[in-house]
Amino acid sequence: MFEVLKEVLEEIVPTPEERAKVGQVVERVVNALREVARSLGIRVEVEVEGSFAKDTWLSGDVDIDVFVLFDPATPLEELRKFGLELAMNAANLLKASWESRYASHPYLTLNVEGYRVDVVPAYRVSTPSQIISPVDRTPFHTEYVRGFLETAPHLKDEVRLLKKFAKGVGVYGAEIKVEGFSGYLIELLVIYYGSFEAVMKGASSWRPYRVVIDIEHHYEGLEEALRRFRDPLVVIDPVDARRNVASPVSLGSMCTFIAAARGFLRNPSLDFFHPPEHRPSKPLDDLCSSRALVAIKTRAPNVSEDVLWGQIKRALRAISNSLERMGFRVYSSSGWASNRELVLLFELEELSLPPLEKHYGPPVYSDHDVRFLKKYLENAIAGPYVEGDKWVVIRERKTRSVEEALTRILATQNIGEHITRSLRKGFEVYVGPQVARASSCESYRRHLAEWLERRCRWLRASGSGS
């Protein structure tokens, strides 16, 4: 393990030259924002937050967050307006390109000398209990982690190792697409356990809905915290007892982290930090030909990534549930999106259903039995007859092919405002081998191949993972 971690650190700890370069970019952005604020007569404080401020960033992968802090008396609409105006003017001063994004309110991401810099408007509040928007907590997070790491600077590299590990096994990031571990959560885990290796050992014994990490002892015990928070993993925010830092972590992401930690302790390997590129066991057309697959392609809605992925996950659940109600068994589903295209993928047990189905009616003692009997007395292939305590019929199935089923579902259901609007404008359904050609994008083909084989990255990397 020592040799593996040493090699990873040699790669992920920033060099003095890289620190100097990033530091210059940060200084330029901060100075530009302050200069613009003075010229516009807007009173704000400019602060650097995030992993750069805490010195927990990875070489070649730095998050630069610059916050523009307004007086709490500023109306929210003015904060939004002037925050964007400051960022746009600073981008022009720096001759930098930018793109708009949205969290609790709009902000800009600037591209400065190849580095992405988030310029985020927020309120300068005196305590976390006074926050007006969620991002107002961030300066308190930075202050807490920096204060702790200044007394234990060796933990910065332990944080880097855990971030790289989470990235390698695919659970880094609190955004809806990932539903994983934020950078702040990673930092708190290292602060709590004391090292990367200790986090691995601690996580290997986690059980969902039974883990509470409360560094500052805001709650008297496990049960009190679990009564308040009903998430798979609970990590109480040291600066705000009302918040679970791990609330974005899905059950799947938590269990993936547990499984990866157990695998790493059994067989420490660089593959957990650098999983090799996926190579399909068969040509993609052959993989698709041997499986019961269906894909729906439509135009990708022009919305923020978090909104898009929230709707993709909602659509996948809604369509899967509808297919199940129609008699199809859904093994798995996935989504892929580019700037232009959106593809929803489903693997089923079979693509067409038998002509007949067994349909259970109400109990024989129910007041609804007369309506059931009238409906099927002349329209059933067999029955109505009694089985157990229910009326039962064998009837002709209304929908047999998955194409027919999807056409009905997509024509009648709202599966998410923006995606439904795209579907109403047009969609295409691909079945079986056609799924490989639902999009010509190489990233789609890579995603499809990985989803079809669905082997955990570290298991693929290290054989058995044990």
Residue 140 lies in a domain: no
Q: What is the pLDDT of residue 460?
A: 59
CA 349 to chain centre: 27
Contact in structure between 188 and 235 (CB atoms under 8 Å): yes
Q: What is the pTM of this model?
A: 0.90
Q: What is the pLDDT of residue 367?
A: 86
Average pLDDT in the 14-24 region?
Answer: 96
**pLDDT tens-digit map of 289-305:** 889 999 999 999 988 88
**pLDDT tens-digit map of 169-188:** 999 999 999 999 999 999 99
339 and 440: one domain?
Answer: yes
43 and 166: one domain?
Answer: no
CATH number for the domain spanning 159: value is 1.10.1410.30
**pLDDT tens-digit map of 457-466:** 777 544 444 4
96 and 35: one domain?
Answer: yes
Q: What is the pLDDT of residue 466?
A: 43
* Residue that finishes a domain, picked among 272, 293, 318: 272
* Residue that finishes a domain, picked among 101, 135, 169: 135
Average pLDDT in the 153-177 region?
Answer: 96
Question: For the chain, what is the domain count?
Answer: 4
386 and 405: one domain?
Answer: no
CATH number for the domain spanning 63: value is 3.30.460.10
38 and 118: one domain?
Answer: yes
Residue 10 lies in a domain: no
301 and 433: one domain?
Answer: yes
Residue 113 lies in a domain: yes
Quote the percentage of the chain above a pLDDT of 70: 98
296 and 425: one domain?
Answer: yes
Q: What is the pLDDT of residue 456?
A: 83
Residue 4 lies in a domain: no
What is the span of the domain harbouring residue 157? 152-272
CATH number for the domain spanning 300: value is 3.30.70.590
**pLDDT tens-digit map of 53-89:** 999 999 999 989 999 999 999 999 999 999 999 999 9
**pLDDT tens-digit map of 31-51:** 999 999 999 999 999 999 999
Specify the amino acid at residue 12: I
Residue 278 lies in a domain: no
Quote the percentage of the chain above a pLDDT of 90: 83
Average pLDDT in the 96-105 region?
Answer: 81
* Residue that finishes a domain, picked among 102, 135, 168: 135
Would you place residue 221 in the very low, low, confident or very high pLDDT band (cuts 50, 70, 90)?
confident
Q: What is the pLDDT of residue 317?
A: 95
362 and 324: one domain?
Answer: no
Residue 1 lies in a domain: no
305 and 413: one domain?
Answer: yes
96 and 198: one domain?
Answer: no
Residue 192: pLDDT over 90: yes
178 and 318: one domain?
Answer: no
Q: Which residue has the higher pLDDT, 330 or 379?
A: 330
Residue 291 lies in a domain: yes
172 and 190: one domain?
Answer: yes
Residue 25 lies in a domain: yes
